[in-house]
Structure 1
Amino acid sequence: MSRPTGRVLTLLELLQSGGTRTIAELAERLGVDGRTVRRYVDHLIDLDVPVEAVRGRYGGYRLGPGHRLPPLMLGEDEAVAVLLGLVAGRRTGLTTATATAGETAAAKIRRVLPRPLAARVDAVLESLAFTEPAGEFAAPDAGILLTLADAVRHRRPVAIRYTDREGRRGDRTLHPQGVVAHAGRWYVTGRDPGIGEDRTFRLDRVADARLLPGSFEAIEGPDPARRVLSGFATAPYRHEVTLRIRGTAEQIRTRLPASIASVTALPGTGSPSPAPEPADAREPDRSDTSEASEASDGPPWLRVEVRAERLDWLPPVLAALDLPFVVERPDELRELVVALADRFARRARRS
């Protein structure tokens, strides 16, 4: 590469780092005079790179918006980071690119890597394993994502066309608070001004989004991620479970995260005694009631509410928590807990 060509590419890399660069700064970094800097800028403009001149005391040059991305100058570490990010993002669903776009972008970066580095990257990709199976997630439309992000930043109302889980289509108005990526899916959360309630929508189900005139006030309350997680915990499911667990919220969250359960303080006293078992429940041993009769200076009793399609996973979770608990509802869960305890007892006696 000739020295002038190399300096032109270096100039492009400096402009791509952002902000306005003065002619004096560019001349010093490139080791040339100001007239040569102007000539290099003209070379970039001839290549359709959108370089803008900024006038004034702190003027100089900056990279302006263009209809296409300018050539990117990536170092070896940067190229590897982008390549691995594309692979991981495609695997976990945390990318807005379609499968084809992600693969072609990764292939382009892989193709321009020096041979020794490419061989080492290939070794990483071949030896890389994920603890979770590859997800089959529908990527959201990049244009819709950009529109919603712009609405969040500038507090602009947005009209969306949405298809719900039952396949019903409709037009909604939203005051978006944030965009959240969770478990391979993308969501937008905000306030529906028509009903005055918080709403969360999956981005891959949004067919169209357009900004509306006007603006809205900042929404008070939890941050967008907490809103999405709490929405999962309170969504309608087949079973509504109510528990009382004696322990701290941090202990409970180790097994029942915010996306699964809501944890609230009990009204009145901070550490009430557990409710008595129904008459038809299995009579516990004396040892079973030792923890339930602890002094009131221990951790408080907290109400935990869970909504689930199935109940069979809850007894093992409660056993793993190893905290005193009372099943308030449903009776079916209490029976599953007793059955699990009986299985444990039989196996312990057998051993």
Structure 2
Amino acid sequence: MLEHGGKLRNAATRYQIPLDQWIDLSTGINPNGWPIPAIPGECWVRLPEADDGLVEAARRYYQSPHILPVAGSQAAIQALPLLRPASVTGMLSPAYAEHAANWQKAGHTLINLNPDTLDETIGTLDVLVLINPNNPTGRRFSQAQLLAWHENLQARGGWLIVDEAFIDTTPEYSLGSYLPRPGLIILRSLGKFFGLAGARCGFVLADEVLLNQLNEQLGPWTLSHPCRYVATQALCDGDWQERTSLALKQQSQRLQHLLESHGLIPDGHTDLFVWSKIPQAPALHELLARQGILTRLFDTPASLRFGLPKDETQWGRLDIALKTIPPAIFGDKIG
């Protein structure tokens, strides 16, 4: 199993700090997610049905005609490599590691790519997997650039897969409205922006032929009835979406300024996290953890990703904790 953020129970045990005293900044999940309503009792006693309004709500929200609900985008990440013969598959590093692990596990040839030289290497690939914006670096790709790469791949029967898990606050970068196009596959999730990671609800946007193949691979009832109910309501709540998008942009800017004020200069960000390369990342991660603040540590390159604090109490604790960090930890990151 690969390492992921959010392992709060492990941290509580390791550092002997009670679970309810932690600030979890390790996941990039909106800490003030969509408010869950009461769930009707029938959701617990009846099997889910496909014509319950979820797909229609997703089509409106994602601005795309062909959509398949899946058990989190992770389900698609694991299944999509099984739908192709052995392929040369390219992806960036660092990036969400589940993509590389699953394509490699399925027997495909994996190539680590430099985003600045992708134009030169695209012709050698059968499949290109990108996260837009990238996790953890925050790097974004324009629609025009992505569509050009897709055209190159599709001409040879290839695929472009774009994981848009962190794109909700910047829908102008999404390729959803360009579908359906053969060989273009978009992954979306309710886990980050909506803060509904525990629901394990995601969507695949693609042409109908591929979605039918994927649906056969995954089998029936990929989402529980309660999950489908909650997801439908969340996707239809335009007022909450608008307020939250603005709030997350403001909070991300606040987090960048807070880190900069303590000498930790960000190297990338989205509206849900800030990422900083720092040689002493393991030491900084450890020092913050000893104060009950969990960040996401990356080895290559050595770096930390900070999610957003939930409330003013957490913002204050993060500020105080950063004040205790010896300047030598930041090294050449000091502003």
TM category (shorter chain) comes to under 0.3
Q: TM-score, normalised by structure 1?
A: 0.22
Higher helix share: 2
Higher RCO (CA 8 Å, separation ≥ 6 residues) = 2
Instruction: Select the structure that is richer in strand.
Output: 1
